[in-house]
Amino acid sequence: MSYIKYKDRKSALKAVKEDGDKLKYAAPNLRDDREVVLEAVKNWGTALQYASDNLRDDREIMLEAVKNDGTLLSWFSHNLKADREFVLEAVKNNGGALQYASDKLRDDREVVLEAVKNDGFALDYASETLQNDPEIREIKKKSHPL
Spatial CA neighbour of 123 closest among 80, 107, 87: 107
pLDDT digits (tens, 9 = 90+) for 46-62: 999 999 999 988 999 99
| Distance in angstroms (rounded) separating the CA atoms of residues 87 and 81 | 6
d(CA 136, CA 124): 11
pLDDT at 32 over 70: yes
Q: Compute the chain's Rg from CA coordinates.
A: 18
Half-sphere exposure of 24 (CA within 13 A, CB side): 10
- DSSP SS3 for 26: strand
Contact 77, 67 (CB under 8 A): no
Return the sign of the alpha-carbon dihedral for residues 31, 33, 36, 42. Answer: positive
- Domain ranges for the chain, please list them: 1-68, 70-146
Residue 146 has pLDDT above 70, yes or no: no
**Is the model's pLDDT at 1 over the cut of 60?**
no
Could you tell me if 56 and 65 are in contact, meaning their C-beta atoms sit under 8 angstroms apart?
no
Kindly report, residue by residue over 2-16, the tens digit of the pLDDT: 588 999 999 999 999
Could you give the residue ranges of the DSSP H alpha helices within 20-131? 34-43, 59-68, 78-81, 84-93, 103-106, 109-118, 128-131
